[in-house]
A and B are shown apart, each in its own frame.
Chain A
Amino acid sequence: MTDAALRAPGAPVRAELSLWRRFLHRPLGVTALAVLLLVVLTGLFAPLLAPHDPNLVDFTLTQAPPGAEHLMGGDSAGRDIFSRLLYGARTTVYGAAIACLVGVGIGVPAGVAAGYFGGAADRICSWISDAVQSVPGMIVLLIVAAGTGADFTVLMVTVGVFMTPGYYRISRSRALAVRREPYVDAARVAGLTHARILHAHMLRAVHAPVIIQSALTAGVAMGMQTGLQFLGVGTASAPDWGQMMNDGFRTMGTHPLILLWPSLALGITIAALAFIGSTLADLVSVRTEPARRRRTAPAGRHAVDAETPASSGALVHTVERSALRIDNLRVTYATAHGDKEVVRGVCLDVAPGEVLGIVGESGSGKSQTMFSALDLLSQDGRSSADGIWIGGREAGGLSRAERHALLGTRVGYVPQEPMSNLDPCYTIGHQLVEPLRAVHKLTKAQARDRAREVLLRVGITDPDRVMASYPHHVSGGMAQRVLIAGAVAGKPDLLVADEPTTALDVTVQAEVLELLRELQQEYGMALVIVTHNFGVVADICDRVVVMKDGRIIESGTVGQIFAEPADPYTAELIHASQDDSESRDDLDAAWHEAGQKVHT
């Protein structure tokens, strides 16, 4: 079996190369690495670099201030501090290296095995790891130190044992993640033994996190090591920083410099390790930090953009007669690759008692349009519009607080995914009652009565049991009814439903649509339904707006659009709803064809 065959499709091969290259572009990381290298080299070549014998006692040098001959002066025993500092680096680096080696040697194989094989091995190893973590390490270290006559190597091996759980945990979680990757399955199907798979894939998967962990571990090990030496545990013959700090600590009041030098050396070394670790972690982590929001959005940006036509869609009601009116809305998201405009000049409106459908595929900007109308955009998105009117009032002219006050009172919102839209930590009752009390100022009893009443109205027969339940106790259909109840509990004039049926079973879908229609008629609300499904539109809507790529490409009454769709894309969408066999590619092809026709 060749190496190439081992690398089944999808195996990460090149990641490590670029990781180091990217590391070299981080000034902080490079500086930290340089400092660490300096410390390591100092430790290795201490005998060549040190100007004096670190253990030579010269009584005239006792607590001497820094001078030309003795750069950092002398300690309380009359020894050259600078030379002792250089030799101390040797001890520190040696000790940290042993601790890391022991941690890697035990923790990584155990973690990989536990993660890869799972089962009893995993349970036993994990229990041991947890147990080691709850052992008071310092007490055990002192016991070991007392028994072995403070042999430095044995001491650092023990420190390494206490560092093992850190390595164990990251290796285990990496191994668990890799085990679920298809290329590991592929390798097993190809007949590779466990040993070869572990060697080929697992070690590669864990090596980056292990390096990061080692940077952390080395720092912590240095801390424990100097801490022990500070207590007077460790070899007395070789100079070390902890012992030098102890010496300085005792004369701190009169000669603070003696304490300063070793403290600085230890602090800088540990900080360098920490920054190396965090820089690597930043580079490896797939976690995307939220993009920094720009304080000032470039004014009138879209006006300069000549490529984009002014706006799309049409307004059919007067401002006074509209429940919601959006004029030339644009929404931009800050992404890693710069700003992306997801809604590009949208106009639409809906009157009280009217049902408007916004249809389009995922990514067409239909949800973002409604989020910005309700002022619910996520933090890295921002919007601009010539005007947004809610209930005939210009929302753009309202203060943040006034705008916010429209939510839950004038406007209700029914989300797409029922399970992820309930707070898992609170009972359903609490989540219904809280806004009624906080926003509508009802008393506790009134709020509970109102919640019970709406739950009954949305078809929940045992509201008390449901209110006492947590979200994970109820089914998806039940949760969606609860969310609808929450949206209409405040008797809004406008209800926005974002794909309200997509996540539900087919049988439940029809019931929920029926419920929305009933509620809309009963309360005389304006209803906006965001959907990708023309079936939903045909079922419930009066008018429909079709969106693609952030623009409205067609709007009209449902009868018109179904009878003679003006745009081929609309025709394709209608066709796709009737027959699920159409793919996105077909739709895109139709769109481009249509575009070419218009241009020629």
Chain B
Amino acid sequence: MIRFTIRRLLSGIVLLLVVTSATFFLAHLAIGDPTAGLLGNNATPAQRAALHERLGLDRPILAQYWDWFSHALSGDFGTSWRNFQPVSDQIALRVPVTLSVVVSATLLAAVVGTAVGITTGLRPGGHLAHVLKLASVVLFALPGFWVSLVLVMTFAVRLKWFPAVGYVPLTQSPSAWLSSITLPSVALALAAIVMIAEQLRNGFVEVNRQDFVRTLRARGLSSRRVTLHVLRNASPAALTVLAVMFVGLLGGAIVVEIIFNLPGIGSLTQSASQIGDIPILLGLTAVTVVFVVLINFLLDLVLGWINPKVREI
């Protein structure tokens, strides 16, 4: 178990290093001269040269990389090139907003997806199962921002049940916070709900065919208890999808946050990429990958707990 944990953690750290380094070089390659975006079109060549030097862009790229990398190792992601505020402060300010939306979308997907998955899994030929199949086909493909627009048009503009835009911190007013993240969370969660339900339904059908289910019933266990056994055996595929969806939700949140005007990492990513603020972009990448690694690590732990055979491979 300890070896399993260490191996997963090491693999996560390698992934983090590789992805952030690749992003560093990609960003410097793509954004050849960041001063153009930072200073705008009206800046004089002298101003641009001064900024160029101040940002250390005149040094060899490998020296710049080492500079960034060695600082990042100690948790220092440098300062923004636009306002020279620490990157970590700016990101820390916005992460709670994005996490509010993404975590509630994930919870929503887990709870509703599991409920629908179990219901349709117990009656795989029923009407709900057929509706789910059609819904999963369409909702998987439709982008979150498209769903967001439909939700905003319906529930915010027409019915006025929820605010169309804006964010209220949890600490300020829990009910207003909930109401401000409901539509974005639902928009993000819909595709995940049907994916999880579909996985769980397939898992139920598959596990129900296995011999041990009949044996459990033969021992006299109630169908509720047998269902719990089936659920545990059927859940790994659905959990894996949930973890993959979480990564997708972090990306999808960028556009959704802009539609709902939420001050999360989405709008920061957009503005930083437009002006070429590379330190911010690198910080955002690092934070996102850390979340991805953490989620995958948690997933592995949970999968190992669900089925102990997995731990020994």
Interface residues on A, range: 35 or more
Q: Are A439 and B251 in contact (CB under 8 A)?
A: no
Give the number of residue pairs across the A-B interface with Cβ within 8 Å: 228
CB-defined interface of B245-257 with A at 8 Å, one 1/0 digit per residue? 0010011101100
Q: List residues 391-449 of chain A with CB under 8 A from any CB of chain B.
A: 404-409, 411-413, 415-417, 420-426, 431, 434-435, 438-439
- The winner among A275, A291, A379 for most chain B CB atoms within 10 A is A379
Residues in chain A near residue B23, CB distance under 8 A? 135, 139-140, 143
With A and B bound together, what is the CA distance between A438 and B149 in angstroms?
A: 50
Q: List residues 244-290 of chain B with CB under 8 A from any CB of chain A.
A: 244, 247, 250-252, 254-255, 258-259, 269-270, 273-276, 281, 284-285, 288-289
CB-defined interface of B18-33 with A at 8 Å, one 1/0 digit per residue? 1100110011011110
Residues in chain A near residue B37, CB distance under 8 A? 146
Interface majority SS (helix, strand, loop, mixed), chain B: helix
Residues in chain A near residue B60, CB distance under 8 A? none
Q: Is A77 an interface residue (CB 8 A)?
A: no
Q: Are A274 and B273 in contact (CB under 8 A)?
A: no
Q: List residues 360-417 of chain A with CB under 8 A from any CB of chain B.
A: 371, 374, 376, 378-379, 404-409, 411-413, 415-417
Residues in chain A near residue B229, CB distance under 8 A? 423, 425-426
With A and B bound together, what is the CA distance between A58 and B250 in angstroms?
A: 41
Q: Are B212 and A420 in contact (CB under 8 A)?
A: yes
CB-defined interface of A290-321 with B at 8 Å, one 1/0 digit per residue? 11110000000000000000000000000000
Interface majority SS (helix, strand, loop, mixed), chain A: helix
User: Which of B70-78, B166-174, B303-311 has 4 or more CB atoms under 8 Å from chain A?
Assistant: B303-311
Q: Are B292 and A134 in contact (CB under 8 A)?
A: yes
Interface residues on B, range: 35 or more
With A and B bound together, what is the CA distance between A421 and B209 in angstroms?
A: 11
Q: Are A415 and B214 in contact (CB under 8 A)?
A: yes
Quick one: which of B138, B211, B284, B309 contacts A472, CB cutoff 8 A?
B309
Residues in chain A near residue B208, CB distance under 8 A? 378-379
CB of B159, distance to nearest CB on chain A (Å): 13
Residues in chain B near residue A472, CB distance under 8 A? 309
With A and B bound together, what is the CA distance between A142 and B292 in angstroms?
A: 19
Q: List residues 45-95 of chain B with CB under 8 A from any CB of chain A.
A: none
Q: List residues 6-41 of chain B with CB under 8 A from any CB of chain A.
A: 15, 18-19, 22-23, 26-27, 29-32, 37
Residue of A nearest to B250 (CB): A136
CB of B31, distance to nearest CB on chain A (Å): 4
With A and B bound together, what is the CA distance between A455 and B252 in angstroms?
A: 55
Q: Is B205 an interface residue (CB 8 A)?
A: yes
With A and B bound together, what is the CA distance between A483 and B214 in angstroms?
A: 12
With A and B bound together, what is the CA distance between A421 and B233 in angstroms?
A: 13
Residues in chain A near residue B225, CB distance under 8 A? 434, 438
Q: Are B19 and A131 in contact (CB under 8 A)?
A: yes
Quick one: which of A143, A374, A424 contacts B27, CB cutoff 8 A?
A143
Residues in chain A near residue B273, CB distance under 8 A? 139, 142-143, 145-146
Q: Is A94 an interface residue (CB 8 A)?
A: no
CB of A227, distance to nearest CB on chain B (Å): 5
CB-defined interface of B202-240 with A at 8 Å, one 1/0 digit per residue? 000100111110111111111001000100110000000
User: Which of A245-253, A339-347, A575-583 has 4 or more CB atoms under 8 Å from chain B?
Assistant: A245-253
CB of A130, distance to nearest CB on chain B (Å): 8
CB-defined interface of A478-497 with B at 8 Å, one 1/0 digit per residue? 00000100110010000000
Residues in chain A near residue B233, CB distance under 8 A? 423-425
CB-defined interface of B97-138 with A at 8 Å, one 1/0 digit per residue? 000000000000000000000000000110000000100011
- The winner among A273, A431, A483 for most chain B CB atoms within 10 A is A431
CB of A359, distance to nearest CB on chain B (Å): 22
Q: Are B281 and A134 in contact (CB under 8 A)?
A: no
Q: Are B218 and A413 in contact (CB under 8 A)?
A: yes
CB of B157, distance to nearest CB on chain A (Å): 6
Quick one: which of B210, B214, B217, B308 contacts A470, CB cutoff 8 A?
B308
Residue of B nearest to A249 (CB): B149
Q: Is B1 an interface residue (CB 8 A)?
A: no
Residues in chain B near residue A24, CB distance under 8 A? none
Q: Are B124 and A289 in contact (CB under 8 A)?
A: yes
Q: Is A138 an interface residue (CB 8 A)?
A: yes
Residues in chain A near residue B214, CB distance under 8 A? 371, 376, 378, 413, 415, 421
Residues in chain B near residue A415, CB distance under 8 A? 211, 214-215, 218
Quick one: which of A134, A143, A147, A271 contacts B32, CB cutoff 8 A?
A147
Residues in chain B near residue A562, CB distance under 8 A? none
Given A143-B27, A407-B217, are A425 and B146 neighbors across the interface (CB < 8 Å)?
A: no
Given A146-B37, A226-B143, are A490 and B255 neighbors across the interface (CB < 8 Å)?
A: no
Q: Is A278 an interface residue (CB 8 A)?
A: yes
Quick one: which of A131, A422, A431 contacts B15, CB cutoff 8 A?
A131
Q: Is B141 an interface residue (CB 8 A)?
A: yes
Residues in chain A near residue B247, CB distance under 8 A? 133-134, 136
Give 13 A-B pairs besides A136-B292, A434-B221 with Cβ atoms closer than 8 angstroms: A136-B250, A139-B281, A139-B288, A143-B30, A219-B142, A263-B150, A407-B220, A413-B218, A413-B219, A416-B211, A423-B216, A425-B307, A487-B218
A-B contact pairs, 7 of them (CB 8 A): A139-B251, A139-B273, A140-B285, A148-B30, A271-B141, A404-B222, A415-B218
For the complex of A and B, the 8 pairs showing the least CB-CB separation, nearest first, are A408-B220, A147-B30, A223-B143, A142-B273, A219-B141, A413-B218, A292-B125, A435-B219
